[in-house]
A and B are shown apart, each in its own frame.
Chain A
Amino acid sequence: MSAINISAIEAGQLWSFHGGIHPPERKQLSNQTPIQTLPLSKTFVVPVKQHSGNSGEILVAVGDDVRAGQPLTQPGLQRGLPVHAPTSGTVLAIDEQPIAHPSGLTDLTITLAADGQDAWYPTTPCPDYQQLSRAELLERIQAAGIAGLGGAGFPSAQKLALQRPLEYLIINGVECEPYITADDRLMREHAAEIISGTEILMQVSGCNKALIAIEENKPEAIAIFTQLLSERAATASRIALRQVPVKYPSGGEKQLIEILTGRQVPSRGLPIDVGLLMHNVGTAFAIHQAIVLGIPLIQRVVTVTGEQVDKPGNYWVRLGTPVADLLAYAGFHETTGKAAQRVIMGGPMMGFALANLQVPVVKITNCLLLPSTTELAPAQQEMNCIRCGACADVCPAQLLPQQLQWLAKAKDYDGLEQQNLFDCIECGACAYVCPSEIPLVHYYRKAKAEIRNIAREKAKAEIARERFEARQERLEREKQERLERHRQAAEARKAAQAEAVAAGADNPQDAVQAAIARAKARKAAQAAAAAKANDSAEGESS
């Protein structure tokens, strides 16, 4: 089976996944111009945590001078992913600032005042990386702070550290979400570096075959890769290009795996369970930069698009640049006018509206979308589900969105887990086709957060129970010890007395006995006197 499957994959066969949608792509808005470099901002706000997982330990203090590429945090005890200074300057503050999160909440950040020099911290380039061991390469990838640039931001070194038999490394250049063209432009302009990064990834993961997947709506990128691969025969035998038909969400990890290999990643499983590993083209580029040039991840390509900006396009943005600076450069004017405007971070399908424009661009920021109200209508009034089933037809994870919605509304968390809520990739296809305008994904996100919260509470309750029981045990033990101490003290007293008596001292017991004898004698005397008095009285009366 597997051998047949591999020969089919080698032959370039493509499979398809369930569902999917074809929303208007609108990529022409931003993919016509080369990537521009955004001028340095005056201040940078670098969140300590920009990926999924633990944050590192802070290395700098307020007032320190730092240089571009200097690590601001180190992995530390929690093995967190480091972040680096985006440019040279002075640390202004280390405090809580709003971050790019749908909640608009604050998190720990390091604020830098740029000095405009952009002086670099010494880098350690290594063009002949083939000499490096796997462990050294992983260490360098980790130290460069590389997290998956496709969206979830999972630390790349951790993903590569899993050692299991691999058949294919997949480089994801699908970029299926409408409007976003950051990966498209990167592939057109830096194809050689991406191929170099792919080779490094192949060496680290110990996999000798790679597939680069690009969606058919990016003919320029496909042409460049085809040309580069045909020029290098040695590379072309190991790296193959695959053109993927246009459909949303083909770029989802599990969906792309099914398209390219016909295999399904098991529920709650990882691609490595079916012998595959996937990285984004942006990550491959960042790994090339980190290993060959020694440059840590301090900038990324961000698409700024939508009908409300003058200069839509792609920009090299240093991480930590405030969104407002990028928007001002791209020609978005915050003035009073008639049209109310949302700023969406991410694409129209999976992005979220920003609560605050001072939030920084981080490792996972791929797009800023400023649509006009005619382009992207504001959320409509939610209506009742009419059970049309359109959502189930388009769900790429083959879930039952309407069922999940009812269970989420009823807060039936066991039911949601039975319906595999956690396989939902939150692609938004169900909400896109819903005729009743139900914000389905919102219900799932809420339910997921609630389920995670319950699990956290449960773990906490378990610890509280253990501590309570340990305390009860301790109190009981202390009580027993106290009683034991009292008993021993009493015995010691008795023994000391006995010893003293034996040594010829007055026995306190004798004194007690004497007192008792005296008391008895007195009582007897009283009784005798009373009896006598009675007798005499009786004698008189009779």
Chain B
Amino acid sequence: MSMLTAIIVLGVLALVFGLILGFAAVRFKVESDPIVDQIDAILPQTQCGQCGYPGCRPYAEAIANGDAINKCPPGGEATIKQLAELMGVEPQPLDAAHGTEDVKKVAVIREDECIGCTKCIQACPVDAILGAAKQMHTVIAHECTGCDLCVEPCPVDCIDMVPVPVRPENWQWNLEQIPVTVVESAK
């Protein structure tokens, strides 16, 4: 008899808690960021395609489906570290097959050589090149991601990738690299 009571009581308790948990699961559902968005937020958005996918978002989708995390040269070590943390895998060195980490660059069109073919405009993934057919083109420097994609299609090779200049605002306090003038004193 006592055994039956125990079974009934525990059964009722299980039912009640089950209902409460079930209700909570529906009522307090946490809307989490889909993993692809989280990965996309870490990627540098250069849209350069060096990873083999047409843009950062496709690569983010590929990573979410299990692709390697070390195919992004513009992001470099820092991005790999963040991705490894997010995906719960060991950080790997950058896959050299996809390129190597480089200083940040920006495309510059040598404007007097431009023939106005619009090929670079079509290649630019972020619409950072301004111009029209048979008119001179120019790069909107602060929108350029330095992806390199406009260089190859140019039929007259008038696009240069130049490193982003260091300004007092974005200087990195590398004191060792400053040529401090040591002047000699008479005293």
Contact = CB atoms under 8 A, between A and B. Distances in A.
Interface in A428-453: 442, 445-446, 449-450, 453
Contacts of B172: 446, 449-450, 453
Interface in B35-68: 40, 43-47, 55-57
A332 B185 contact: yes
A464 B126 contact: yes
A464 B45 contact: yes
Interface stretch (A61-69, A204-212, A335-343): A335-343
B121 to A, nearest CB: 11
A338 B182 CA distance: 12
- Interface extent on B, as a size class? 35 or more
Nearest to B167: A105
Contacts of B166: 103, 105
Contact of B178 (A355, A357, A465): A355
Given A464-B145, A470-B127, A339 B184 contact: yes
B173 A341 contact: no
B187 A456 contact: no
A468 B125 contact: yes
A15 B63 CA distance: 57
B179 A355 contact: yes
A342 B173 contact: no
- Interface extent on A, as a size class? 35 or more
B186 interface: yes
A103 B184 contact: no
Interface string A340-360: 111100000000011111000
Contacts of B185: 308, 332-335, 337, 339, 341, 370, 372
Contact of A340 (B56, B174, B184, B186): B184
Contacts of A453: 170, 172
A446 B168 CA distance: 13
A255 B40 CA distance: 43
Interface string A447-471: 0011001001100111111011111
A483 B183 CA distance: 73
Question: A340, A370, A456, A468 — which one has the most chain B CB atoms within 10 A of its CB?
Answer: A468
Contacts of B179: 104, 355
Interface in B87-146: 125-128, 142-143, 145
B170 A456 contact: yes
B173 A449 contact: yes
Contacts of B183: 334, 341, 343, 357
B168 A103 contact: yes
A370 B187 CA distance: 11
B24 interface: no
Given A372-B187, A464-B47, A464-B145, A341 B126 contact: no
B42 to A, nearest CB: 9
A107 interface: yes
Interface of A: 99, 101-105, 107, 307-308, 332-343, 353-357, 370, 372, 442, 445-446, 449-450, 453, 456-457, 460-465, 467-472
5 contacts: A103-B171, A355-B180, A355-B181, A465-B56, A468-B47
Interface of B: 40, 43-47, 55-57, 125-128, 142-143, 145, 166-168, 170-175, 178-187
